[in-house]
Structure 1
Amino acid sequence: MVNPTIAIPKAFKVTHEQFKELAAANRDLRLERTATGELIIMPPTGSETGNRNLDIEGQLWLWNRQTKLGKAFNSSTGFHLPNGADRSPDASWIKLERWEALTQEEREGFAPICPDFVVELRSASDSMETLWSKMREYITNGASLGWLIDRKNRKVEIYRQGRNVEILENPTTLSGEDILPGFNLDLKEVW
């Protein structure tokens, strides 16, 4: 069976409910929705980016498995942010008490919550302007810590609540600070 192609008009807008239906009917597509309802269809990442993203997710998962301080999520997880956007960070984490405050129904869908920690890993098809906007959106919606990892330029931008963005040139590790105590992301495999 051949999958049909889909053409989306530039200014196409969808509600959150329509977005949930689209996502359920097109599970193989990577979809996001802006706070204004604009539908975004993201191409799959290349193999190199996918491999490095899995390494980031794996390190976060292992730390969380050992500490049991929250819930870790991979890039296929969508969240319904307080501003109305539906976003899927490349990796994310939510404190256990915030996760447990959600109902079972909320957990099973696009959880109506912004993760405490988010990671975006720049792929070849990502524009920095789009990623900067997403990182600011996560922080504005409640994320305490965010990492924008730019493999192409070997830079990491660190986003925190109430602080200016910190830019690191070619770091070898990143600290989860007091948000993810004891978590240190080893970037050797990511670069």
Structure 2
Amino acid sequence: MTLPHIRDRRAAAFAVVLALLGAVTVSLGLRTDDALPPLPVSSPAPPASVKAAPAPVKALKRALPVRLRIPAIGVDTSIMQLGLQRDGSLEVPPLRGDAPAGWYRDSPTPGETGASVLAGHVDTARDGPAVFFRLRELKTGDPITVRRADGTVATFRVSRVALYAKRDFPTAEVYAPIDRPGLRLITCGGAFDRSEGSYRSNVVVFADASR
């Protein structure tokens, strides 16, 4: 169980994120993807007439994430921990093609109540495709699993895939607390700004806990 002073520190850290990560300008890729097919703004949702509300899933206790698997796009990666840099921006994994995904350690662990945040590179100038290179290909319903240090596995299904210009990044929607276990996967995408040496947008995958 989280002690009061630890819980307060985590809440304070989230306040810092919400205040200083307004654009989420994380450097998650440095190679143009002009040759790739365009990304839709969001995954198509089922018609309202047949869309059923998901059954509630019991939250898990806190346990650090150790491995992420996304079968639909061939991701099977270890997970490192990420904090905040001095300017309040999110740390990122090492800029290498073989770098793992990273979990923001002041967000809930995957399977706990709340939105757990993971980030990864889309590609690198030196090595090409990286761990989240195909993230934008995910579709509604695709499964995601996170193995945790206590041996349990948190299971999720994609509910939405979206592309946001960094200047319009919906920080509150991505990072704010929620009343159920959820997952947010973030990488770079969209057009590559050669003058800035970075992508202009972020791909965000929203996923909900499932059985």
State the TM bucket, normalised to the shorter chain.
under 0.3
| TM-score when normalising by structure 1 | 0.25
| TM-score when normalising by structure 2 | 0.23
Structure ranking higher in strand proportion: 2
Q: Which has the higher contact order (CA 8 A, sep 6+)?
A: 2
